[in-house]
């Protein structure tokens, strides 16, 4: 990897932990793979102290497992753990979608529509769903940003880093991405009508469907 100068909006350990978590979700580090303090400190041109703190943040979020004197390893979720995590994620996202439907204004809905237009262009991109998954995360962030329940946001954030790489399994096929896009369209429609109950149902169903597809892909792998 090239050397990285992280953005300045977060503390240094938070910047490093965010970068590593996103790299793990994108598949740049595989489950069980070792990540050393030396490697990361050289990557960011920083001492090992902020790297060590970043590792602790990721351990807290269930993304890394710290191995004494050996750095850290990417957490491996077993099949049942993955299913449980995605089930909880569906509940949290459904609740957040309901909040969005109640709280969103015209600007938020316009942003949703603009991002959805971009998402449609990524359905047929032949990269095993990486681009689609990354852009759907932008839509998800928009939904979560309108959720005024701090606990929902925190729990969802932690789960997202844990299951991100597994969630992508559910979007590997063009057919699944097209189905996912339809859910997003339905969600925008009910949010335009401020139908919080319908938004919650669609939000939960969307993640539940991805969970089914991820499970099937996990079993084949």
pLDDT digits over 60-72, tens only? 888 899 988 778 9
Kindly list the averaged pLDDT for each block of 10 residues, start to end, along the chain of length 221.
52 91 83 92 93 93 86 88 91 97 94 96 89 90 93 88 76 91 98 97 94 78 55
Distance of alpha carbon 129 from alpha carbon 132, whole angstroms: 5
Segments of the chain assigned to CATH 1.20.120.530: 79-220
Three-state secondary-structure class, residue 128: coil
**Paired tokens of 137:** 């995360």
pLDDT at 58: 92
pLDDT at 5: 47
Q: CA torsion, points 201, 135, 86, 171, in degrees to nearest 10?
A: 100
pLDDT at 221: 55
Segments of the chain assigned to CATH 1.10.10.10: 12-74
pLDDT at 6: 45
pLDDT at 133: 87
- For the structural domain made of 79-220, what CATH number should be given? 1.20.120.530
CATH 1.10.10.10 assigned to domain 12-74? The reply is yes
Distance of alpha carbon 203 from alpha carbon 106, whole angstroms: 20
């Amino acid at each position: 990897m090239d050397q990285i100068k992280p953005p300045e909006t977060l503390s240094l350990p938070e910047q490093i932990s965010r970068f590593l978590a996103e790299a793990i979700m994108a598949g740049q580090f595989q489950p069980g793979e070792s990540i050393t303090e030396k490697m990361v400190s050289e990557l960011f041109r920083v001492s090992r102290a902020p790297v060590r703190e970043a590792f602790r943040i990721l351990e807290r979020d269930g993304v890394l497992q710290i191995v004494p004197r050996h750095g850290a390893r990417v957490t491996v979720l077993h099949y049942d753990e993955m299913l449980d995590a995605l089930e909880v994620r569906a509940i949290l996202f459904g609740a957040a979608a309901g909040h969005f439907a109640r709280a969103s204004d015209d600007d938020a809905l316009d942003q949703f529509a603009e991002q959805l237009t971009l998402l449609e262009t990524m359905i047929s991109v032949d990269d095993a769903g990486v681009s689609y998954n990354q852009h759907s995360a932008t839509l998800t962030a928009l939904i979560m940003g309108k959720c005024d329940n701090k606990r929902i946001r925190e729990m969802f954030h932690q789960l997202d880093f844990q299951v991100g790489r597994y969630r992508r399994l559910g979007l590997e096929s063009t057919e699944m991405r097209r189905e996912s896009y339809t859910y997003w369209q339905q969600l925008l429609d009910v949010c335009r009508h401020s139908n919080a109950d319908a938004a919650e149902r669609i939000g939960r169903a969307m993640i539940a469907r991805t969970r089914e597809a991820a499970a099937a892909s996990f079993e084949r792998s």
